[in-house]
């Protein structure tokens, strides 16, 4: 069970010119544990979807063959389980036990067997609560554990994990790694896509690297693959272990303060906090989930009104009272989810919006837009719809939109979260450059690499509740 | 803005643990006939019955009041509308408010309508307050053969509703961060509202799409006949609840007719 054979496999989504994945020859046998790697756009997720039988025949064009235990994956669905990135959109029911039972009901498992199998699956992933625990009360990592239990309860011969920790904080990611380690047995074939290689390495015994243009670039034991291809993969954006990123600390001391929060609170979300961010300084705000980091970013960004305490960001009173257009010229905010900030249908319009709102003449708007497109490697995408960008492109665009109105202070919420190594380095260089030009940067983050490489000072928040 | 799902109270009270479909049907069978008449007596009898059976649903009067208070606003609206626009102003004049003559006839009509609103809405409020949505979906599939694709799909979508509230706040803040605000201009406010709502819709559709794929990956779209982890049974007590609701409603109407107070809504 769980044997995978691909011969010259390719898939092109309907309406696309380029093949998402092409020319893949691969054989994975019963019980193997494979890490599937490749730069962004190499087609890893498409390949997993194909193996899970989730590419309907009418949704694109296929080439070659893909078989699971000798069957078309669409007919072998009962043998395959898949866990996706986002726990929120994988849970179906409001009680944890019911959610694990959901798949068993769908597969027609006799009612008498369902609850014992639910309990067994919850135990396998180390779920710490009873069946009645509301799914809404679970943390992201716990929800993802539950999603894994819901898949394992179906006893798949082939388990596919599509970046299962990408949406989780480090604590949540650790929960999932522990759950997978605990749950795997010799009868389950595992294929995992994960660009944080170090997180997946303890789980696998074989690494397959997809070539973006098509085919398989490398295939073998992790040590051998990384010895031969590690440098190139790291350059292409894969987080290969043993390829640290260079620090980019400030060469001068911090300048005058740009924003000062004094005993600022927000009801139920942030305990009294006092801090200041300065010119020529990267201030990292760290702390566990629920400590109010994102809330603090919104307060410093002049987007929320504090319940008590004051925020002083220069003349004009509290920043939450400023008109939006003025705010963009003084404090730029970059949200965790770039798509929240997109308001137009073209990348170039997105960049022009801010300068136009503050009344810049059209010639200057065009100059700013062209400059940002070039600096952030978005020229080729000027006419694209922002919602169609990849994760890294969308992140670069969201930072660029904040820069378009040239604010002195930039507040970013998890700027490097889920980014590949290449985008990460670009962002780090960009932010370090802005800092060296005298900007103030506040970054809410739980990315230890980011703190180590960039932060000139750190403010740690404790959990409030 | 925060959205929270309406919660239900798990209860072992005799009527609360009836089959959810039976409860819902009983509420409809009870409320439906009340629409037929405009007099104040029928809804008064119905309200008396509803309040009398409330303990059998294991629900406190305070809880009912908290859930039903938006109806008070509706009632206020009805009274104001009738005082201003009622065509028939029969009976003695009680008060004169500027150009509006408030007569006993107007007040009786208003009272009748306000009582109807409460009498018709309360059964639904009671049923949803004492029913687990999961149980309702299960019962719809198991007892009335509703398609699982519809009932379970709706249940899963329902789970995502609280996310919309958080999403709306983030989208609004993100627009301000982009320099987009409406100030006092009502047209700009409307445009901003529409664009935020559109972004919310796009996000909701994407999330819904991802959820649908995840559900299909766990066999939701497979042709295999589903089994049920949680059994919902429809027994005699459930049938009795439905019959009882119909009989009480009919009795209230009959009383009104016999007393000569019946005012049909048509004719």
Interface test with B, best of A87, A343, A400 (most B CBs within 10 A): A343
Q: Which residues contact A379 (CB under 8 A, 6 or more apart)?
A: A373
User: How many helices (H) does chain B have, and how many strands (E)?
Assistant: 9, 2
The answer to whether residues A74 and A158 belong to one domain is yes
Residue A198 lies in a domain: yes
- A459: helix, strand or coil: strand
pLDDT of residue B2: 43
The predicted model gives B180-204 an average pLDDT of 90
Q: Which residues of chain A have pLDDT under 50?
A: none
Look up residue B262 and give its two tokens: 């019946």
Rounded to the nearest angstrom, the minimum Cα separation between A99 and chain B is: 10
Q: Which residues of B181-210 are buried (b: 16+ CB within 10 A; e: fewer)?
A: bbeeeeeeeeebeeebeebbeebbeebeeb
Chain B, nearest residue to A350 by Cα: B178
The answer to whether residues B148 and B25 belong to one domain is no
Q: Furthest-apart CA pair in chain B: how many Å?
A: 70
- Which is nearest to A305 in space by CA: A320, A293, A323, A326? A320
The answer to whether residues B208 and B125 belong to one domain is no
- Which is nearest to A281 in space by CA: A459, A424, A447? A459
Contact A89 B214 (CB under 8 A): yes
Which DSSP helix (H) or strand (E) runs through A276?
strand A270-278
pLDDT digits (tens, 9 = 90+) for A358-397: 999 999 999 999 999 998 889 999 999 998 888 889 999 9
B220 touches chain A (CB under 8 A): yes
Residue A247 lies in a domain: no
CB A408 within 8 A of CB A256: no
The answer to whether residues B79 and B97 belong to one domain is yes
| pLDDT, chain A, mean | 92
The answer to whether residues A230 and A261 belong to one domain is no
pLDDT of residue A145: 94
Domain carrying residue B157: 139-217
How many independent structural domains does chain B possess? 2
Rounded to the nearest angstrom, the minimum Cα separation between B187 and chain A is: 17
The predicted model gives B60-82 an average pLDDT of 89
The answer to whether residues B128 and B24 belong to one domain is yes
Contact B218 A343 (CB under 8 A): no
Residue A251 lies in a domain: no
Order of strands across the sheet that contains A440-444: A331-334, A409-413, A440-444, A281-286, A457-460
Look up residue B31 and give its two tokens: 């409320």
The answer to whether residues B253 and B210 belong to one domain is no
What gap in Å lies between CA A269 and CA A289, rounded to an integer? 11
pLDDT of residue A377: 87
What gap in Å lies between CA A237 and CA A209, rounded to an integer? 13
How many independent structural domains does chain A possess? 2
The answer to whether residues A198 and A277 belong to one domain is no
| pLDDT, chain B, mean | 89
The answer to whether residues A160 and A280 belong to one domain is no
Please state, as a whole number, how many other Cβ atoms lie within 10 Å of the Cβ of residue B12.
Answer: 7
Rounded to the nearest angstrom, the minimum Cα separation between A211 and chain B is: 27
The answer to whether residues A192 and A272 belong to one domain is no
The answer to whether residues A56 and A113 belong to one domain is yes
pLDDT of residue B229: 93
Chain A, nearest residue to B137 by Cα: A93
Interface test with A, best of B167, B176, B192, B228 (most A CBs within 10 A): B176
Q: Which residues of B14-32 are buried (b: 16+ CB within 10 A; e: fewer)?
A: ebbbbbbbbbbbbbebbbe
Contact A92 B152 (CB under 8 A): yes
Q: Furthest-apart CA pair in chain A: how many Å?
A: 72
Percent pLDDT > 90 in chain B is: 55
The answer to whether residues A147 and A296 belong to one domain is no
Chain B, nearest residue to A92 by Cα: B156
pLDDT of residue B12: 81
Q: Which residues of B50-84 are buried (b: 16+ CB within 10 A; e: fewer)?
A: beebbeebbbeeebbeebeeebeeebeebbeebbe
- B2: helix, strand or coil: coil
Confidence band of B4 (pLDDT split at 50, 70, 90): low
Which DSSP helix (H) or strand (E) runs through A285?
strand A281-286
The answer to whether residues B122 and B32 belong to one domain is yes
Phi, psi torsion values for A378, nearest 5 degrees: -120, 10
pLDDT of residue B1: 39
B181 touches chain A (CB under 8 A): yes
Residue B266 lies in a domain: no
According to DSSP, the residues that pair with A310 across neighbouring strands are A262
The answer to whether residues B177 and B201 belong to one domain is yes
Residue A97 lies in a domain: yes
pLDDT of residue B107: 85
Rounded to the nearest angstrom, the minimum Cα separation between B196 and chain A is: 9
The answer to whether residues A197 and A271 belong to one domain is no
CB B98 within 8 A of CB B37: no
Count chain A–chain B contacts defined by CB atoms under 8 A.
Answer: 150
The answer to whether residues B128 and B143 belong to one domain is no
The answer to whether residues B34 and B112 belong to one domain is yes
What gap in Å lies between CA A368 and CA B236, rounded to an integer? 75
Residue B15 lies in a domain: no
Residue A246 lies in a domain: no
Q: What is the DSSP string of A4-69?
A: EEEEEEEEEETT-SS-SEEEEEEEE-TT-EEEEE-STTSSHHHHHHHHTT-S-GGGEEEEEEEEET
Interface test with B, best of A92, A118, A154, A304 (most B CBs within 10 A): A92
The answer to whether residues A284 and A363 belong to one domain is yes
Q: Is residue B265 over pLDDT 60? A: yes
The answer to whether residues B62 and B126 belong to one domain is yes
The predicted model gives B200-226 an average pLDDT of 90
pLDDT digits (tens, 9 = 90+) for B101-140: 888 888 888 888 899 999 999 999 999 999 999 999 999 9
Bigger pLDDT: A147 vs B184 = A147
Interface test with B, best of A51, A55, A110, A340 (most B CBs within 10 A): A340
pLDDT digits (tens, 9 = 90+) for B18-48: 999 999 999 999 999 998 888 889 999 999 9
The answer to whether residues B100 and B198 belong to one domain is no
Residue A465 lies in a domain: no
What gap in Å lies between CA A337 and CA A394, rounded to an integer? 9
- A457: helix, strand or coil: strand
Which DSSP helix (H) or strand (E) runs through A443?
strand A440-444
Phi, psi torsion values for A284, nearest 5 degrees: -100, 130
CATH number for the domain harbouring residue A184: 3.40.50.300
The answer to whether residues A131 and A65 belong to one domain is yes
Look up residue B23 and give its two tokens: 């409860």
Residue A244 lies in a domain: no
Phi, psi torsion values for B213, nearest 5 degrees: -65, -45
pLDDT of residue A268: 86
Chain B residue numbers with beta carbons less than 8 Å from the beta carbon of A405 are 179
The answer to whether residues B127 and B163 belong to one domain is no
Domain carrying residue A319: 257-460
């Amino acid at each position: 069970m769980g044997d995978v054979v691909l011969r010259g496999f390719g898939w092109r989504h309907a309406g696309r010119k380029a093949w998402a994945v092409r020319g893949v020859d691969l054989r994975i046998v019963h019980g193997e544990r494979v890490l599937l790697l490749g730069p962004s756009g190499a087609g890893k997720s498409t390949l997993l979807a194909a193996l899970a039988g989730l590419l309907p025949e009418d949704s694109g064009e296929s080439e070659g063959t893909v078989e699971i235990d000798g069957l078309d994956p669409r007919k072998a669905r009962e043998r395959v389980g898949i866990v996706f990135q986002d726990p929120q959109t994988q849970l179906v029911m409001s009680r944890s036990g019911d959610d694990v039972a959901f798949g068993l009901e769908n597969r027609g498992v006799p009612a008498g067997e369902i609850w014992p199998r639910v309990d067994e699956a919850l135990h396998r992933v180390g779920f710490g609560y009873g069946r009645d625990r509301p799914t809404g009360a679970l943390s992201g990592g716990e929800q993802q554990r539950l999603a894994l239990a819901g898949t394992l309860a179906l006893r798949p011969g082939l388990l596919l994990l599509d970046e299962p920790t990408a949406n989780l904080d480090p604590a949540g990611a650790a929960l999932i790694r522990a759950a997978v380690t605990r749950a795997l047995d010799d009868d389950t074939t595992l294929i995992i896509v994960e660009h944080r290689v170090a997180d997946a390495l303890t789980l696998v015994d074989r690494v397959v690297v997809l070539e973006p243009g098509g085919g398989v670039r490398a295939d073998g034991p992790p040590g051998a693959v990384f010895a031969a291809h590690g440098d190139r993969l790291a350059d292409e954006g894969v987080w290969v272990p043993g390829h640290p990123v260079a620090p980019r600390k400030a060469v001068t001391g911090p300048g005058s303060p740009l924003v000062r929060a004094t005993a600022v609170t927000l009801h139920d979300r942030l305990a009294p906090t006092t801090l200041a961010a300065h010119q020529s300084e990267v201030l990292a705000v760290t702390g566990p989930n629920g400590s109010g980091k994102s809330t603090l970013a919104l307060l410093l960004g002049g987007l929320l009104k504090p319940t008590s305490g004051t925020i002083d960001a220069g003349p004009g009173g509290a920043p939450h009272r400023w008109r939006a257009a003025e705010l963009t010229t003084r404090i730029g905010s970059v949200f965790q989810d770039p798509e929240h900030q997109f308001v137009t249908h073209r990348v170039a319009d997105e960049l022009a919006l801010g300068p136009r709102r503050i009344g810049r003449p059209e010639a200057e708007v065009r100059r700013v837009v062209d400059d940002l497109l070039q600096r952030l490697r978005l020229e080729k995408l000027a006419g694209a719809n922002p919602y169609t960008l990849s994760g890294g492109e969308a992140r670069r665009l969201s930072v660029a939109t904040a820069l378009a109105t040239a604010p002195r202070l930039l507040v970013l919420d998890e700027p490097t979260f889920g980014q590949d190594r290449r985008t990460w380095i670009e962002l780090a260089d960009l932010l370090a450059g802005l800092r060296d030009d005298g900007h103030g940067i506040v970054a809410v983050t739980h990315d230890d690499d980011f703190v180590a490489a960039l932060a000139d000072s750190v403010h740690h928040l404790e959990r409030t509740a | 803005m925060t959205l929270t799902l309406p919660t239900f109270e798990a209860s072992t009270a005799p009527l609360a643990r009836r089959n959810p479909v039976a409860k819902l049907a009983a509420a409809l069978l009870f409320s439906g006939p009340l629409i037929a008449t405009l007099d104040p007596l029928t809804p008064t009898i119905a309200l008396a019955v509803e309040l009398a059976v409330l303990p059998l649903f294991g629900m406190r009067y305070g809880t009912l009041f908290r859930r039903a208070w938006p109806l008070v606003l509706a009632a206020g609206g009805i009274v104001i509308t009738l005082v201003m626009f009622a065509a028939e102003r029969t009976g003695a004049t009680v008060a004169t408010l500027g150009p509006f003559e408030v007569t006993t006839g107007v007040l009786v009509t208003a009272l009748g309508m306000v009582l109807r609103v409460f009498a018709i809405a309360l059964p639904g409020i009671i049923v949803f307050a004492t029913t687990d949505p999961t149980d309702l979906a299960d019962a719809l599939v198991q007892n009335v053969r509703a398609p699982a694709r519809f009932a379970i799909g709706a249940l899963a979508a329902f789970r995502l509703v609280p996310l919309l509230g958080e999403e709306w706040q983030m989208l609004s803040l993100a627009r301000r961060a982009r320099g987009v605000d409406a100030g006092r201009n009502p047209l700009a406010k409307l445009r901003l509202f529409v664009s935020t709502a559109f972004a919310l819709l796009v996000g909701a559709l994407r999330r819904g799409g991802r959820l649908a794929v995840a559900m299909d990956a766990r066999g939701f779209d497979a042709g295999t006949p589903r089994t049920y982890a949680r059994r919902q049974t429809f027994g005699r007590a459930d049938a009795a609840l439905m019959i009882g609701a119909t009989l009480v409603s009919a009795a209230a109407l009959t009383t009104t007719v016999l007393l000569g107070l019946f005012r049909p809504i048509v004719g």
